[in-house]
Structure 1
Amino acid sequence: MSNITLFSQIIKKIDRSIFNKLVREKQADKGCKGFNSWTHLVSMLFCHFAKSTSVRDISNGLRSATGNLNHLGVRKAPSKSSVSYQNKRRDADLFKDLYYSLLKSLGQQAALRRVKLKVKVPVYLLDATVISLCLSVFDWATFRTKKGAVKMHTLLDYDGKLPVFVNITEGSVADNKGAYGIPLEKGAVIVADRYYNDFPMINVWDSSGVYFVIRHKKNLSYTSIKERDLPEHTAQHVLKDEEIELSNAQSKAKYPKTLRRVVVWDERNGQTIEVITNNFKWAAQTIGELYKARWEIEVFFRDIKQLLHIKTFVGTSKNAVMIQIWTALITILLLKVMKATAKYGWHLSNLVAFIRLNIFVKIELQKWLDKPFEVHKEPLLDVIQGDLFSN
């Protein structure tokens, strides 16, 4: 048995030296009185792991852990006013930079072996999701006339199922506009939906040596240059494979090169999928599989919305919302590391629920992850007790 709680052991996966370096660089504790950056981080991670619905829940939840706070590196449970004040004041970029730093140090542990895709290059999935907000309360989050929202523009690594880039904007920002700052890795492939039919943007990708597979819009104007042979006995779901040029003058000026157009039948959803790509070497079946892999980013969005606490927010300022989203990303990174290193076949939803139920239980984390339903007893002390009635 461990003498520290599950939550304390999860928190210990975060390298304090990395965090302290970021705090010094950003001077995040300047003028701080008691409620330092580390306590702030622990409070917001507790918010997600315990699914606290308010700053009162965060404060009371940590206060209930009296005697265990020192294992968390926290001197005193924060008051609700302290959490609220620092959510508004402390720069959210501290938690953003921490996520990317942890992704470098822990991300490899979360990566899974690729089982379906036949390409050996890195595969990234690009999409955006809307997080709805009440416009009367979050008046800075413009989206529609009577509705507010923020949008997470996300580039997801297919192998690790974790974001390598996130751009959080107001909900009114178009998907393609929010993707202009994504990192470009030569030789990698970006898979995206039809909202990313932005010819100036994909022209930049192509010039940078990046492959793309994008579902094109129904009204795409093009001229077919060459029909490519279809496989005779395999991949019967591939309906068309051709090389095309854009016929619209404005579009062609933005992307003057030849494109490849592949049409595949999606039996699961009973529809045809039409994609364009700048890769002319891969089999048409591989192109289709790459696009189908895009579903993984939808799974990621579902998980982060349903399992963590980002549908409602404990603060109303833009900075508070950003902190809650970035700490949610840190939480899901820690969860995926635990899931990947456990011998037991956890579903992420079950892992989240079990941690929530046992958050302050004192048990060895790795043993619990490997064998969650086994009774873990403390070893008997090897002590010979004297017999009171012996001669």
Structure 2
Amino acid sequence: MHTVLDYDGCLPVFTAITEGSVHEINVAKKLSFPLGSVIVMDRGYVDYKWLCVLDSNRCFFVTRAKTNMAYRIVEDNTEKSAGNTFILADRLITLTAWKASAEYSGEMRMVVYLDNTTGQEYTFIKNNLHWKAQTVADIYKERWHIEVFYKHVKQHLKIKSFVGTSENAVKIQLWTALIAVLLLKFLQQKAGYRWYLSNLVTFIRLNLFVKIGLINWLNNPFYDQKQIIEIGQLKLFDG
């Protein structure tokens, strides 16, 4: 399931369901983005020809560099982030490998960042030459929202296993799950009470056959259960 999340609300604006053998970059190449968009992706989407297309369309990208990326340093700006001990390098580079340089001949920026919690180093590449180095790391950190989205789909909507095994059955279950996520996220945003999505899913499942106003319940889930039961009993014995 190939998905593009819009950062405003972190909801999918595009989804394609393909066979597992279809590489994600083949789907990404078919997409178009509005002018000035910032596309954040993992290393699996590093295709220099496609990155050049994004740059030509005046879209910004932030991704992790491949471990075998060959490059030449044009300018070293690391000292500009001297006050930030987590910025290990901030350089302007060009690709030197024959194929890579032919596909992306322009300059790009490379930032090496040290994660203070794990001690792991991350090397980011991007085509925006003006952002602060810390901003690059912060932007990539927001990519974690897509991992959270898939976690919600798999855990809360039971996509770890499938009811049917045919292609049509699997697609129906996945599309149904996506529709359910959109509805749940909409209810979460509309509710006056601050719900965690996991709690919202659980409580809605428990109250599926309870005749109460949905919006009122979302705003105030801790209603008087005893009063609701008494009202229901009176109606049960009317007439």
Work out which of the residue numbers 80, 83, 87 in structure 2 matches 1:230.
80
- 1:182, CA displacement in angstroms? 2.3
- Please name the residue that 1:154 is paired with: 3
- Please name the residue that 2:164 is paired with: 315
- Please name the residue that 2:133 is paired with: 284
- Please name the residue that 2:46 is paired with: 197
User: In structure 2, how many angstroms separate the alpha carbons of the residues matched to 1:231 and 1:311?
Assistant: 44
User: In structure 1, how many angstroms separate the alpha carbons of the residues matched to 2:93 and 2:74?
Assistant: 5
AA aligned to 2:24 is: D
- Please name the residue that 2:237 is paired with: none
Matches within 5 A, 1:229-378: 229-233=79-83, 235-375=84-224, 377=227
* Secondary structure, aligned partner of 1:176: helix
Contact 1:230/1:238 (CA < 8 Å) preserved in 2?
Answer: no
Structure with the greater relative contact order (CA < 8 A, sep ≥ 6): 1 or 2? 1
* Secondary structure, aligned partner of 1:338: helix
How many residues were matched structurally?
A: 228
Percent of residue pairs bearing the same amino acid type:
48
Q: Which 4+ runs in 1 deviate beyond 2 A? A: 229-233, 309-317
Contact 1:239/1:265 (CA < 8 Å) preserved in 2?
Answer: yes
Contact 1:240/1:263 (CA < 8 Å) preserved in 2?
Answer: yes
* Secondary structure, aligned partner of 1:163: strand
Contact 1:169/1:178 (CA < 8 Å) preserved in 2?
Answer: no
- 1:247, CA displacement in angstroms? 0.5
Post-superposition Cα deviations, 1:128-165, rounded to whole Å, max 9, x if no partner, equal xxxxxxxxxxxxxxxxxxxxxxxx11111122111111
- Aligned-residue Cα RMSD (Å) equals 1.7
User: In structure 2, how many angstroms separate the alpha carbons of the residues matched to 1:309 and 1:373?
Assistant: 27
Work out which of the residue numbers 65, 71, 80 in structure 2 matches 1:216.
65
- 1:320, CA displacement in angstroms? 2.2
Post-superposition Cα deviations, 1:60-83, rounded to whole Å, max 9, x if no partner, equal xxxxxxxxxxxxxxxxxxxxxxxx
User: In structure 1, how many angstroms separate the alpha carbons of the residues matched to 2:68 and 2:117?
Assistant: 24
- 1:372, CA displacement in angstroms? 0.9
Contact 1:230/1:240 (CA < 8 Å) preserved in 2?
Answer: no
Please, what TM-score do these two structures have when normalized by structure 1? 0.56
Post-superposition Cα deviations, 1:59-110, rounded to whole Å, max 9, x if no partner, equal xxxxxxxxxxxxxxxxxxxxxxxxxxxxxxxxxxxxxxxxxxxxxxxxxxxx
- 1:175, CA displacement in angstroms? 2.3
- Please name the residue that 2:22 is paired with: 173
For the pair shown, which has the larger CA radius of gyration, 1 or 2?
A: 1
- 1:267, CA displacement in angstroms? 1.5
